[in-house]
Amino acid sequence: AAVTCVMCAAVLDGLDGHTARYLQACTQLGFELDSLCDCANFGVVPSLVIYFWAKTLPASECWSESCLTDHRFLWFACCAYSSCCALRLARFNVIGAATQMDQSYMTDSGDKKPPVPKVMLHNFLQKKLFFQGVPAPVGAAYALTPMILHFSASSRHVGAVGDTGAWAIGRRGAALVLITTAALMMSTLPTFSSKMFKTGPGDTHLRSRGAASRLVKAVGGFSCCI
pLDDT score of 166: 46
pLDDT score of 167: 45
Query: By the 8 A CB rule, do 143 and 45 touch?
Result: no
SS3 string of 83-147? HHHHHHHHHHHHCCHHHHHHCCCCCCECCECCCHHHHHHHHHCCHHHCEECCCHHHHHHHHCHHH
Q: List, in order, residues 6 or more apart from 37 with CB less than 8 Å away.
A: 9, 13
pLDDT less than 50: residues of the chain:
164-167
pLDDT score of 31: 80
Kindly report, residue by residue over 70-127, the tens digit of the pLDDT. 888 899 999 999 999 999 888 888 876 566 655 566 666 666 676 666 666 666 666 6
Q: Is the pTM of this model over 0.75?
A: no
pLDDT score of 47: 93
pLDDT score of 27: 82
pLDDT score of 87: 92
Q: Write down the number of H helices and E strands in the chain.
A: 11, 2
